[in-house]
Amino acid sequence: MFVQLSHTSFAMVGIFQRSLRLRTSLRQLSFHKSTSPTDILSSLVLRGRLFPICSPFVFFSFRRTLHNSNDGPKSLSDTPPPRRPFCRVTQEDLTFFRTLLPGRAITDPDLLESSNVDWLKSVKGSSEVLLRPQTTEEVSQILRYCNSRNLAVNPQGGNTGLVGGSVPVHDEIVLSTALMNNILRFDDVSGILTCQSGCILENLSLYLEERGHIMPLDLGAKGSCQIGGNVATNAGGLRLLLYGSLHGTVLGLEVVLANGQVLDCLSTLRKDNTGYDLKQLFIGSEGTLGVITAVSILCPQKPKSVNVVFLGCETFEQLLKTFQLSRSMLGEILSAFEFLDSECLNLLRTHLKLHNPISDCPFYIVIETQGSDSNHDEEKLHNFLEEAMQSSLVVDGTVATEEAKIKALWSMRERITEALTHDGFTYKYDISLPVERIYQLVTDMRQHLGERAKSVVGYGHVGDGNLHLNITSPAKNPALLAAIEPFVYEWTAKFQGSISAEHGLGLKKRNYIYYRSS
């Protein structure tokens, strides 16, 4: 069967051809006859990257060989890739940046410190230049210039990432989108918001709430994270169960490619079947294909009725049965189903002095409902809770309908990450698994590590099959890390899971991408 390409198809093919040429045009490499196919592939991909440290394609082949060696167990998370043959920043380069960005080309080491260190303070770069553009045109000029000069660039949003993907590994130029924080327009009929990529998620939420709408995603880091970074990492968050992922809610993107070319896919159409959906390539690409400069996103109406329930269960099996019951009895109003174990609650109590609102249990559930009719929602919730209690699925619980009490209950889930930072050095794993396997990994990890870990805790999004496994020790411990990795990834692969559900690969997981289910 023959397929005839339309003019539109040829245009799309042209974009991909130019992208392929772009991968080799950042700077020409001198390939020798002895260059291996792996090295050629690595070089080609790196030349197409803005942030050249975490491409899964680059490290796949030779990192797997390293892992399979007979040198004994080892973790590759802390093994940074070597610095590639990029140029170093000169005074001539600084003159260009300062002329383009008056007062926004930062070289003061004290001001650069926060851009060189990730939120967990587990990864640190040595960048000497921080650029803070305000417009897409400025981003385009920066990347066009860096492309011509063979300078490596690290895009950075709110720097709230947990896998080391938001900070430089070596001396890459940090390109911050923090000043690209304008809301461009909002259509209150369709609920479509268009904004620059540096807008902070919480600010967008407050803006929309005043107009009777909400953002389709909600994260614990909403006070600092930026929408561009959310899209670049395909952040999931607390309400994916109801509103779906960003692959569905993001309608359009504006992106600047590595050579400075602006790719305008900033559509506000919910239906557009006129060619390849190029924006999907950039959702979850972690800044490897381009810098997202603007986003259009579909925002649901603000619910008129919100309820939050905090429940306790004796076993994880009962917790899963409660989830099944909630889906059948709460249906369309079920917006979140989260869980945490007793170890998480102990950390909240010890380090943050948060009070357990119910009796102590091995497992806890946070359920949120959103709807348009409070009487209807309360009746459904009452029937669900009555059935859950009569069936002995839950042993205790409390319900919040007022905003202050709702925030207090949500803090039991959202502040776990904060509590962990007070417990010691934290090893974080963001795993996606078949729902029935979620907590088994926590149990097996505790047995595997024994007394070597201070704490092994589990919490996450039951509705999405997403476990956040966290392991703490008094200080950074290479021996402990070697015991955790690759065990955690081998276990995940064994049960057809994903080693990164919503945090991305970044620096810490780039060497383990071959542990995947498909």
The secondary structure of 84-111 as a DSSP string is: PSPPPP-HHHHHHHHHHSTT-EE--HHH
Residue 232 has pLDDT above 90, yes or no: yes
Instruction: Output the pLDDT for position 76.
Output: 63
Element (H, E) at 231: helix 227-233
332-346 pLDDT, tens digit per residue, is: 999 999 999 999 999
Q: Dig out the tokens for 75 from the structure.
A: 């973790």
236-277 pLDDT, tens digit per residue, is: 888 888 999 999 999 999 999 999 999 999 999 999 888 899
Instruction: Output the pLDDT for position 77.
Output: 63
Cβ atoms 125, 172 nearer than 8 A: yes
Reported as half-sphere exposure (CB side, CA atoms, 13 A), residue 200 has a value of 13
Instruction: Output the pLDDT for position 75.
Output: 59
Cα separation, 316 vs 458, whole angstroms: 11
> Between the ranges 120-124, 232-236, 268-272, 312-316, where is the mean pLDDT highest?
312-316
Peptide bond into 486 cis (omega under 30): yes
Residue 25 has pLDDT above 60, yes or no: no
* Average of per-residue pLDDT values in the chain: 85
What is the band of 41 on the pLDDT scale with cuts at 50, 70, 90? very low
Which class for 428: exposed (0-12), middle (13-18), buried (19 or more C-beta within 10 A)?
A: middle
Q: What is the dihedral of CA 466, 472, 477, 482, to 10 degrees?
A: -30
pTM of the model: 0.81
What is the C-alpha R_g of the chain? Answer: 24
The 10 Å Cβ neighbour count of residue 229 is 28
The span from the first CA to the last CA of the chain, in angstroms, equals: 29
